[in-house]
Amino acid sequence: MLTAQASPTTLRRREPFPAAANQRRLAGKPSSLPVQRRPAIRAVISSGDSKTGVEKTSEKAVESDVPSAKSGGVSVRAVIRIRKKMKEKLLEKIEDQWDSFLNGIGRGISLQLISQEAHLGKSDDTFVRGWLPRLSDNPYVVEYGADIVVPSDFGQPGAVVVTNFHEKEVFLMEIVVHGFKEPIFFTADTWIHSRIDNPESRIIFKNQAYLPSETPPGLKNLRQKELLSVRGDGKGVRKLHERIYDYDVYNDLGSPDVDEELARPVLGGEERPYPMRCRTGRRPSLTDPDTESTVEKSDSVYVPRDETFEEVKQNTFSAGRLKAVLHNLIPLIVSTLADSDIPFTNFSDIDDLYNDDILLPKGAKKSHLLANLMDQVLNVGDNLLKYEVPAVIRRDRFSWLRDNEFARQTLAGVNPVNIELLKELPILSKLDPETYGPPESAITKEIITRELNGISVEDAIENKKLFIIDYHDLLLPFIEKINELPDRKAYASRTVFFFDDGILRPIVIELSLPPTSSSKRNKKIYTHGHGATTSWIWKLAKAHVCSNDAGAHQLVNHWLRTHACTEPYIIATNRQLSSMHPIYKLLHPHMRYTMEINALARQSLINAGGVIEACFSPGKYSLEISSAAYESLWRFDREALPADLLHRGMAVEDPTVPGGVKLVIEDYPYAADALLIWAAIQELVESYVEHYYSEPNAISSDVELQAWWNEIKNVGHHDKRNETWWPNLDTQDDLSSILTTMIWTASGQHAAINFGQYPFGGYVPNRPTLMRKLIPQPGDHEYERFLHNPEYTFLTSLPTQLQATKVMAVQDSLSTHSPDEEYLHQLDQIHRLSSNDPLVQKFFENFSVQLEEVERIINLRNKNIELTNRTGAGVPPYELLLPTSPPGVTGRGIPNSISI
């Protein structure tokens, strides 16, 4: 029988045709087939185990004589390609013979062609049958054949109905129909469930985009049926084989049945607004009916079947690698270091992470996956774990100590999206003064004036020379609770920067605690100073700012603004846009595997007791802070890159440059490179939208598109449904702007804030994820110890060796590109989805050429000695927005989607 449970990601780049064959098929010619020979249907199917995979292969052309015509119809042939599970040789041979027998007698897969014309109907059901398995270039792929008879006046086929009579699911890659005027392609890339699990057959449409109003009459009912099949009814527990896209709140982060300390509030609703996630329907926990029951670490959290993302044979995907880190390596690290979890006490302790090894328990490589991960990625041999030297100190191990490097990373680091122009003084809080004290910041005009080298504050503001990173209002409501946690001490920070002579430097840091009965203004100001004591205190203040920044980066800019806010777009796209819809085809490559990664994060990263809570400052309040940021900061209209830069005052409008904005700081590597990527995406989207929506009112009359946008606003982002800033969806410009924002968020924006996590965060002093002590004050017992050994105070304020090691393992994994990553410039998806439209193909070819030019420009910028945030002694180039990358931790490369 056909085997099941393999992930579609084991064939992520599913390109069944070599490049030359692609060109022939786009020209309407059968690939590699002599003119006198004509198989009518080519189906590509795979099946396998979820823990295994196959390498990329090219499809061998299958040649056969034209079957004889039968009375009243034409007999044509199907070629079926199936992927097998990896098994022991004897068991594999037995299963091959059984699969061959089932398909040989026609009891495996049933195909039925549907005509585009309603009155011409459909062919009879035809079972796949024929010869014994033919091995392809890959030993885990076999091929079968089938004969199908269609009426001579059948017209053009528009869909194929596929029924799987095997006991397990199979993976259908593509069906190609020859015998009409030109080859007709049915790209599937989908799991076909067993009829035992679900009696409903699957509908696969041909590779042609249709607006709802243009749907051929024979396909209209099928189009609606396909959409209804994936929406579900909001009831019951979802099963892993299903393809149901439905919504729920974040009620699965806590584990109250395990421990009452692991209870967490529900995110989503008036009290704690949040985007919606995919509904799994698990039963409520026993101790809290509002919380969903937890899933064992070895089990999978439900996501629709085609969203799953698993391991590939020999070369592990990023998602599989992350699972190995979270479920295998992290527990080993904990068991190894927990009994001696100690702080760093000198810088040699930190250096040892890269120079020496961590001895893991014997037998640590208890799984093939973990052994492969350790040996190939984490430099492990004989149970010794060793980390690579992070890029931030590879060229200059002392760079992190300098103020200019601290400032440079606000423009060219892993979190370059929080710095904004300081437009006026005094700096005011929006928090309730009755609870949080006077709204005025302690950073006064007089304090700033002392740091400006003779320039007046008024001139500095007028000439756009003052900038700020302000975490005060976001964090202050949580500081008291955070500081009650064991070994956690935090402030709410503000940092003011001065930009002069092309150099950005920090000049003032404000660290705030909640008001007390004795101090309504519990704010302290720090400047660099020139004495030994003030210099060390300044280092501690910067470390606290970095800790704030690390939390804001991970919880707000990374998780919330890319991962969580994108999930409702994916759900709505599958629920409301048919796979025939041109906007579905455009978005699909940018939405793959995100739901699987998000489900894994809810299980092991952002969950109660997960890595984020264990190793970042906010601890158990991490996701509540994320919710607060969603409520007060997130707006869809400002997720567009130019709008974000304008809002932060980092750019001014200028229609003559890419993106339509001119940067206030020209040497702002993230923004300068991002605008090139944004402009390329925008041009592609505008051309695509104009092509499909050339008629007046075409957008406002598109019922699927309007339902899609309404669902995103009113259901997916339900807690923001009444906001007035949601864009309208009436014109080409409206649609182009919305789509460009979504694609940018899933590709360039995520790449810019994800793949630098280990290169910048892998050295603990550069970017501590938490602080364990407040800054010592005169009169404190700790202050006397600080004066005697400031290095000890600094290092023992950082995360412990266990916390640092756990974070480094996760950051390393999150920063890793898989061996077969699908990057933004690649056209594989478009070749298959739009092969019948040469103009659309041309749009994407132009886009690929543009990205090649972007890469050339970025490389030139990184060699320009005048751009000191990219070049200089020990300064690493800014490469996070280079479109391409080899596998591994490279600090560059833009994948199509949020796939890690």
Listed residue (565, 570, 571, 573) closest to 705, CA to CA: 573
- 588 assigned to active site: no
Separation between Cα atoms, residue 684 and residue 833, nearest integer Å: 16
Separation between Cα atoms, residue 241 and residue 248, nearest integer Å: 19
**DSSP state for residue 11 in the 8-state scheme:** G
**DSSP state for residue 714 in the 8-state scheme:** I
Residues in contact with 680: Cβ distance below 8 Å, sequence separation at least 6, in sequence order: 847, 850, 851, 854
Separation between Cα atoms, residue 673 and residue 677, nearest integer Å: 7
Cis peptide before 426 (omega within 30 of 0): yes
Exactly one of 544, 563, 581, 831 is catalytic; which is it? 563
What's the N-to-C CA distance of the chain in angstroms?
A: 33
Using an 8 Å Cβ cutoff, are 434 and 385 in contact? no
> What sign has the CA pseudo-torsion 818, 393, 756, 489?
positive
Phi, psi torsion values for 370, nearest 5 degrees: -65, -40
Exactly one of 558, 590, 717, 817 is catalytic; which is it? 558
Exactly one of 103, 574, 598, 754 is catalytic; which is it? 754
576 exposure class (CB count in 10 Å sphere: 0-12, 13-18, 19+)? buried
DSSP letters along 112-134, please?
A: EEEESSGGG-BPPPEE---SSP-
Which secondary structure element, helix H or strand E, spans residue 549, and what is its range? helix 532-552
Using an 8 Å Cβ cutoff, are 356 and 386 in contact? yes
Using an 8 Å Cβ cutoff, are 809 and 334 in contact? no
Using an 8 Å Cβ cutoff, are 886 and 818 in contact? no
Separation between Cα atoms, residue 321 and residue 52, nearest integer Å: 13
Residues in contact with 289: Cβ distance below 8 Å, sequence separation at least 6, in sequence order: none
Using an 8 Å Cβ cutoff, are 351 and 795 in contact? no
Helix axes 330-337, 801-814, angle to 10 degrees: 170
Which secondary structure element, helix H or strand E, spans residue 855, and what is its range? helix 838-861
- Tokens 């003119």 map to which residue? 35
Using an 8 Å Cβ cutoff, are 474 and 490 in contact? no
Listed residue (470, 885, 407) closest to 668, CA to CA: 407
Residue 160, Cα to own-chain centre: how many angstroms? 32
- 368 assigned to active site: no
CA distances from 381 to 233, 374, 384, 811 (A): 51, 7, 5, 21
Listed residue (889, 870, 753, 698) closest to 809, CA to CA: 889
257 exposure class (CB count in 10 Å sphere: 0-12, 13-18, 19+)? middle
Phi, psi torsion values for 111, nearest 5 degrees: -120, 145
Exactly one of 472, 588, 750, 817 is catalytic; which is it? 750
Phi, psi torsion values for 305, nearest 5 degrees: -50, -40
Using an 8 Å Cβ cutoff, are 479 and 490 in contact? yes
- 558 assigned to active site: yes
Which secondary structure element, helix H or strand E, spans residue 790, and what is its range? helix 790-797
Residue type (1 letter), 84: K
> What sign has the CA pseudo-torsion 510, 514, 515, 516?
negative
Separation between Cα atoms, residue 46 and residue 745, nearest integer Å: 32
CA distances from 9 to 191, 202, 303, 759 (A): 11, 20, 14, 26
- 754 assigned to active site: yes
Separation between Cα atoms, residue 554 and residue 534, nearest integer Å: 30
- Tokens 């896209």 map to which residue? 245
Residues designated catalytic = 558, 563, 750, 754, 900
